[in-house]
Structure 1
Amino acid sequence: MKIMKLKLIPRLSLGISCLAIGALLTGCEKPTGNGASATSDSPKQPNASMSVLNDGVGAKAGRVENMHLTRFIEIFFAHRDAKTGKLVAECYNTMFTSKGIPASKDTAPQALVEGLDFAKMKTEYGVLGASLNGPKLWTPDWTEIDIGVEREFNGLKAAWVAQLSMGDNAGGVSETTPYQPTPIARKSALGWNKGTTVLLLDDAEGNTWILKGFQMGLKPQYTYEQFVAAGQSQFKKLPPGWKFRVKTLDRDLNEKPEGGMATIMADEFFNVYDKTGPGMSDYKP
């Protein structure tokens, strides 16, 4: 699976993949039909009313509850920063709209996601590229994050949650390295409530990692429940001394990285984990 090389701009709070994936771990799935991404070196000049370049200006801090196992996607619009000329991407997430989390916990219905036309969006919004992350399941129960302008794409509402730096190549892709810790800039807070069942990886150095974003993709090979039931037997590339376990929390687990820097990691299935313990969360589960 190919992914875009992204890193966070420190002055902005981290979005969900953004939050859930972050930087190098932002997976891009290709939907059937219209395609999952579109890039160009010469974007059409956007109409002022359609411009997405200022959607993060005036973003306000918000807290969303009842998020555990919510299905979501993120949409990225790449363009050059007017001041630096560097490539950046505006990130929109379907979980942080004014509608809130629906009873179905599905903020990105399959039919609507498959109908997204990224070539059309690239032209309509006058950007260098448009791409998709997800669908994924979000495992924390709540999240605090800066939320900007809300837009609608093919019937899907999504709110601005971050701006990412893409380095020097809008089309740059590379493979992730499973089980490789990655530091990212992040100010957002999130947490799991007492009684929530969490998925954990214990590494050989004694660190515990908590699964935050469960990868579904457009053509899921298994459900979340099947993944949990399969346990460690399904992991084929787990490093020596590592262990997978499932735990029901006996108290709340709260996470807010100290100094605005978080440590995250992907597994071989493109699920994303956060490190727990000192500097990341109030305890190690």
Structure 2
Amino acid sequence: MRTRDNMRGQRYGEVIVVRGGPFVFTGGVYNTLGLNNCPEKLWRALDPRALKKQFRAAAIVLNGPRYFVMDRSSLANPGKTETFGGIETRHFADVRVTLPTVLQGKAAPYTENTVARTTEYLYEKGRPIYELIAPDGTRYVMQTYALIVDPSLTERDLTGLAKRLKLPAGWQYRSRVLDRDLVLRARGTAHVVQDDLQNSYQRVTTEI
């Protein structure tokens, strides 16, 4: 496992190279973490249509910029590097991509998706976490917040985010300060959802 400390507040971007079809697709997730901080000028210059042609992909999804909100992360078996428009990235994961996601360029909010990765995220005691709670009680902890919908969003805004989100019936959002460390593990498969601001959350599979 490759471990990185001081993750909270680190900026990154992802380029998702989608292949397959016509109804089932897989996206290779290429992440800038550890290589650069997703430089704004280069990121804004990325052209998904040109990249789609260059990489002979079914689609290119630009996922960022984003900021991490865990305190430490560990990733097993990071893959090869790839450069997109001058931005160096590394293959981190693969995600199942639906046809609507390919057509719309983003995942449907409040819908669970699976990501093939083995990771361990540490949220330290005394630090805030931000959670979505589904109607059946399933909990998801925010792993990253996004500047995609709201470029001015900061971590300070996350405490009061419930007032802004368009939560489906029965869903809840809350923030709280941890009274003990929280570790989120994904052993080959992570279950994630996004809210309508495209902030990303991972399902809790162990008791908090």
The reply to whether TM is greater than 0.5 is: yes
In the TM superposition, what whole-angstrom CA distance separates every residue of 1:27-82 from its partner, at most 9, and x where no partner exists? xxxxxxxxxxxxxxxxxxxxxxxxxxxxxxxxxx422222112221111233459x
Partner of 1:197: 128
**1:1-285 → structure 2 map (5 Å cutoff):** 61-79=1-19, 87-97=25-35, 107-145=37-75, 146-166=77-97, 171-173=102-104, 176-182=107-113, 185-217=116-148, 220-228=151-159, 230-240=160-170, 242-257=171-186, 260-276=188-204, 280-281=205-206, 283-284=207-208
- 1:126–1:237 CA distance, 2 compared to 1 (3 A): closer
User: Which has the larger strand fraction?
Assistant: 2
1:205-256 Cα distance to aligned partner (Å, 9 max, x none): 444321112121176153332343x34322343534x443222222221111
TM-superposed CA distance for 1:185, in Å, is 4.6
Quick one: structure 1 residues 175 and 273, their matched pair in 2 at CA, closer, same or farther if it must change by over 3 Å? same
Write the distance in 2 (CA, Å) between the matches of 1:169 and 1:231: 26
- Percent identity reads 21
The 3-state SS of whatever aligns with 1:74 is strand
**Which range is displaced more, 137-146 or 169-178?**
169-178
Q: Tell me how far apart the structure 1 counterparts of residues 186 and 118 of structure 2 sit (CA, whole Å).
A: 7
User: Please, which runs of 5 or more residues in structure 2 have no aligned partner?
Assistant: none
- TM-score computed with the length of structure 1 as normaliser: 0.59
Distance 1:243-1:213 versus aligned 2 partners, 3 A rule: same
| Residue type at the aligned position of 1:67 | M
Of structures 1 and 2, the larger Rg is shown by 1
Shift of 1:171: 4.5
Deviation at 1:112, TM superposition (A): 1.6
Label 1:170 to 1:79 Cα distance change in 2 as closer, same or farther (>3 A): farther
Q: Gaps (5+ residues) in structure 1?
A: 1-60, 100-106
Q: CA deviation at 1:129?
A: 3.7
Give the drift of 1:172.
3.9
* Aligned-residue CA RMSD (Å): 3.3
Return the letter of the residue paired with 1:213. T
Q: SS where residue 38 of structure 2 aligns?
A: coil
* Change in 2 beyond 3 A, CA 1:204/1:167: closer
Deviation at 1:184, TM superposition (A): 5.1
- Matched residue SS, 2:191: strand
Answer yes or no: is the 8 Å Cα contact 1:96–1:147 preserved in 2. Answer: no
Aligned residue-pair number: 205
Distance 2:103 2:163 in 1: 34
Cα distance in 1 between the residues matched to 2:127 and 2:145: 15
